[in-house]
Amino acid sequence: MTTNILSALGSASGIDTKQLVQDLVSVQKAAPQARLNSRTADAQAQLSAYGILKSSLAEFQNILTPLSDPNLFEAKSINVPDTDVVSFNSLTAEAQAGSYQLEVEQIASAQSIAFNSTETDSTQALGKTGTLTFSIGEWSGATFSVDAEKVGFTVEITDDDTLDSIAGKINDVDSAVLASVITIDGKLQLLITSESGAKNALEITSDNTAQLGVFEYNSTIIADQALLANPTIIETQSGQNSIFKLNGLEINRESNTISDAIVGLDFTLNKADVGNKISFSISQDKSSAETAIRELVEAYNILKKTLGALVGVSTDDDNNTVTGDLAKDGTAKSLVNRISQAMAGTVSGMSPLDGFSALASVGVTTNLDGTLELDEEQFKKVLSENFDKLGKLFGVSTESNSSYIKLNTGSFASNATAGDYVVNITQAPTKGTLTGVVITFPLDLSASPVEFAIQVDSQGSDNIILSGAYSSIEELAADLQSSINSDINFKDTNLAVDVTIDAGKLIITSRSFGSASSVEITNDVNGNLLSAIGLNASSSKLDGVDVKGTINGEEAFGSSNILLPAIGSSAYGLNIEVSEGTPLVEYTVSFSRGLAGDIALLVSSALSDSGQIANREARIESEKVNIGADQERLDKKMTAYQERLSSQYVAMERIIASLKSTESQLDGLIDRLPFTASN
């Protein structure tokens, strides 16, 4: 039987060319598409795995944070009785352990001065002008002594000021002095209250006694008011210190809130209770540190298990091999190894000979699988006998072999390399000074006050006036120091001076160190400053100098009394505070972050925006972009392939259709030919 090929091809060809093209394209695309799909899945799995890695490291970092604080190992607890005589406010790690007895004999109080007024309306303008000067010190009878350490202030009064606005101006000054307007028996009073303490009493003077004398409180006013049956200016309460005994030692303080009797303990005296002693004790609190170390071991084991699943190869219960999504990722594996090594190794900056320089020294051992285990017996022994060594093992430690220099950690301490550093001081820091000449006492400036301006560290003052009588150079020095430091220009810029005495001479010293430190008289208004107090613009002036020195033989930058390592050096991020009068010799300082600090730095660096994890994730994201581009190229290639096949089959269909048309034309042609024989 013969077969008609053209008929067999159907209409035209009889082939489903569309499906055929799709099948051919699918076969051609299958292998490269599978590779792209595998790359996409791997990239997505790696990103998900890095998400788990970051989350696990962040949780572990939270466990490290308390251990990196040295105060954790200095924590104290206090045992106090139930009492209303004293309130115990706070206890810090610096507190010294011991037993104490406290007896409160007197409560501190603040001086209050009431100025009776004839005004009936506190908002009525008084029509008074001038300057009120508030000095702070101590009254002894009718004699007032300025406290050199206390900064006074001035208040400008204008003719439109009222009792209310004067009180407001006093309250607006940055001081502890408060003012209010009250009504007593229908009469207005301006009540001014100082800070508590005998040496926080007020002397109030003015430059216009004729108008502002009603607000003055000085020896003259006190004497005058004492003669009146109904004085208009009344000290309603005198300032006094608190007095208490601590373990039998009598202590005076200006406030009832005591923070410096026992370092690290803050308490408030509520009332006097003479003859009754309150017993309390402070002891070392080891429980917080013990708990933190136990939590570290537990947290690390959880982290170890999580990271092991990400970067390791293991078998499941059916003995099938399970490969972690980051098993072939060098960045992740390197990070995990570094954390493991840090946990098991010696703390950077410490020597294995130190005894307590690794976790193993406190009873934390490493198992074969890399997890940690706590040897309870050894751990308890360390807590009992060597608890003081744990702070240096886990937390930041800075040490110096001399009290003249102090090692501090700066904002860039993460850049510093742990270890020992040799510091050579070649120039000690100094402060700017101004030294006067010898003057004699007693000194009375009442009739001829001195008025001058002074410049401290390039900051000038307003005119300063000294008047009154001084029985000793100590009184003059105290008043001079307080007057200078009370100047608004210095208060606003946190500048101050100390006025000391040397062989009958006044010496004014800036409280700042360095080359910017200086003191200079800039204006002697009345021309009598030298004869009165032994100082003037020509007085002996000595500017301060910055500290100079080297760190590990490398020149350091000195600013004021701070020595800064060279940028990029191994000590960069640390700074050295140098005392005045430091001998010009070599010193040794050491720096260690401790175990928790080392690992916290490692983890925070890895988690930072520019760390290893972020960089690796960026590369994976870049790989995903490349995969997308490869996918786009493959799709374009397959589209072109499909179009080519489609074009070829269309051409084939046309040829077949043409052949079929020819077939129909030839059909019966032989029978119609002439001379054809018929049956």
- In this predicted structure, the answer to whether residue 673 has a pLDDT above a threshold of 70 is no
633 in helix, strand or coil? Answer: helix
Question: Burial level of 315, CB count in 10 A (0-12/13-18/19+)?
Answer: exposed
| pLDDT tens column, 187-241 | 899 999 999 999 999 999 999 999 999 999 998 888 888 777 778 899 999 999 9
Predicted local confidence at residue 517, as pLDDT: 97
| pLDDT tens column, 24-52 | 888 888 899 889 888 888 889 889 988 99
DSSP state of 109: B
Side chain identity at residue 500, one-letter code = T
Confidence of residue 649 (pLDDT cuts 50, 70, 90): confident
Per residue, what are the HEC states of 2-57?
CCCHHHHCCCCCCCCHHHHHHHHHHHHHHHHHHHHHHHHHHHHHHHHHHHHHHHHH
- Sign of the dihedral through C-alpha 507, 510, 516, 519: negative
E-assigned strand segments in 471-556: 497-502, 505-513, 519-524, 540-542, 548-551, 554-555
The DSSP code sequence of 350-379 is S-GGGSSSSGGGGTEEE-TTS-EEE-HHHH
Mean pLDDT of 346-360: 84
- In this predicted structure, the answer to whether residue 1 has a pLDDT above a threshold of 70 is no
Statement: the pTM of the whole predicted model exceeds 0.85: no
Distance (Å, whole) CA 56 – CA 304: 10
Contacts of 117 (CB under 8 A, 6+ apart): 163, 187, 188, 189, 190, 214
- In this predicted structure, the answer to whether residue 657 has a pLDDT above a threshold of 60 is yes
Distance (Å, whole) CA 434 – CA 325: 73
Distance (Å, whole) CA 330 – CA 616: 10
- In this predicted structure, the answer to whether residue 13 has a pLDDT above a threshold of 80 is no
Distance (Å, whole) CA 249 – CA 649: 112
Side chain identity at residue 17, one-letter code = T
**Average pLDDT, whole number, for the chain?**
89
Exposure string of 331-346, with b = 16+ CB inside 10 Å and e = fewer, is: bbbebbeebbebbeeb
What percentage of residues in the chain have a pLDDT greater than 90? Answer: 59
Yes or no: say if 387 and 556 are a contact pair by the CB < 8 Å rule: no
| pLDDT tens column, 406-426 | 999 988 888 899 999 999 999
Predicted local confidence at residue 536, as pLDDT: 87
Q: Which phi and psi angles does 424 have, rounded to 5°?
A: -115, 110
| pLDDT tens column, 528-587 | 999 899 998 888 999 999 999 999 999 999 999 999 999 999 999 999 999 999 999 999
Q: Which of 11, 29, 15, 9 is nearest to 649 (CA)?
A: 15
Edge-first strand listing for the sheet containing 557-559: 405-409, 574-578, 562-564, 557-559
Question: Burial level of 446, CB count in 10 A (0-12/13-18/19+)?
Answer: exposed
Yes or no: say if 49 and 231 are a contact pair by the CB < 8 Å rule: no
Mean pLDDT of 252-278: 95
Predicted local confidence at residue 12, as pLDDT: 58
The CA-based dihedral angle spanning residues 3, 5, 10, 12, taken in that order and rounded to the nearest 10 degrees:
-160
Tell me which of 251 and 345 has the higher pLDDT: 251
What percentage of residues in the chain have a pLDDT greater than 70? Answer: 95
Q: How many residues does the chain have?
A: 679
CA neighbours closer than 13 Å in the CB half-sphere of residue 578? 35
Q: Which of 495, 511, 514 is nearest to 558 (CA)?
A: 514
Tokens 């079929």: give the residue: 660
| pLDDT tens column, 450-496 | 999 999 999 999 999 998 889 999 999 999 999 999 999 998 899 99
Distance (Å, whole) CA 225 – CA 233: 7
Yes or no: say if 576 and 589 are a contact pair by the CB < 8 Å rule: yes
Distance (Å, whole) CA 393 – CA 397: 9
